[in-house]
A = this chain, B = another copy of it.
């Protein structure tokens, strides 16, 4: 069981969590709320451009925790697979420019493609991007996605599979992301977190609502659902993880709120339930 967090030192918010805000608004809003970390979704770079975002982030005093997201490697044509690799290399350049030490990989899947074939294409894609990432000083992190996304978002659906992939590729700049929303149900989770150990490069939180009204955009604020977040954080910390706790909430409901108030709710939920 993780011990309660008594301050906000490890709190990070994903720009997608406050999707109605531009990057400029998010930087100001997080800083005002005393949130020290920010994870940048690539769409948030459009407002100021990569160089402009880099400059603004540096000036903001916020710590850039990661860039979301690379991946989506499987495709039905070799041109499609090459396009994905090229795009991931561009993501590496963006990460390096804005000072993000890490890119989270949503690995990809194509409806109807054999999942084993998709995994093989994912491994090839990661291997093709790693040299560029290593040269740029950017790590890559395999995020296992909930099995309900196995059709079109990721053929990697358990931490065990992510660990398998990372152990097979074996590269100092490749690790895994633990996201409680995707993994909480897994009876092997404690064991796989322990196995991942120092390979855990990032940790995402939100909660699973009952009922969940939408497969994509109905995540809960921590404490609103059934996920034993603090226990899972404890497992990650026992495995050696001491980094930021990243709040990644996709929610039509919360996106409809005034985002400053929502960030206050995130702060409260973080201290009470993470």
Contacts and interface: CB of A to CB of B under 8 A. Distances in A.
Interface of A: 111-112, 114-116, 146-148, 150-152, 157-158, 161, 184-187, 208, 210-213, 215, 225-226, 228
Nearest to A218: B215
A152 B151 CA distance: 23
A163 to B, nearest CB: 12
Given A111-B210, A157-B185, A215-B212, A148 B147 contact: yes
B215 A185 contact: no
Contacts of A115: 185, 187
Copy count, this protein chain = 2
A-B interface, 9 closest residue pairs, ranked by CB to CB distance from nearest: A150-B185, A111-B226, A147-B185, A111-B210, A148-B148, A151-B210, A112-B226, A151-B226, A147-B147
30 contacts: A111-B210, A111-B226, A112-B226, A115-B185, A115-B187, A116-B187, A146-B147, A146-B148, A147-B147, A147-B148, A147-B185, A147-B186, A148-B215, A150-B184, A150-B185, A151-B208, A151-B210, A151-B212, A151-B225, A151-B226, A152-B210, A152-B211, A157-B185, A157-B187, A158-B187, A161-B187, A211-B215, A212-B215, A213-B215, A215-B215
Contacts of A213: 215
A interface majority secondary structure: loop
B151 A114 contact: no
A194 B115 CA distance: 19
Given A147-B148, A147-B186, A157-B185, 4 more contacts: A112-B226, A152-B211, A157-B187, A211-B215
A145 B243 CA distance: 34
A265 to B, nearest CB: 20
A160 to B, nearest CB: 8
A116 B150 CA distance: 25
A157 B116 CA distance: 20
A161 B208 CA distance: 21
A175 B239 CA distance: 37
Contacts of A111: 210, 225-226
Nearest to A215: B212
A242 B185 CA distance: 32
A212 B186 CA distance: 22
A210 B149 CA distance: 10
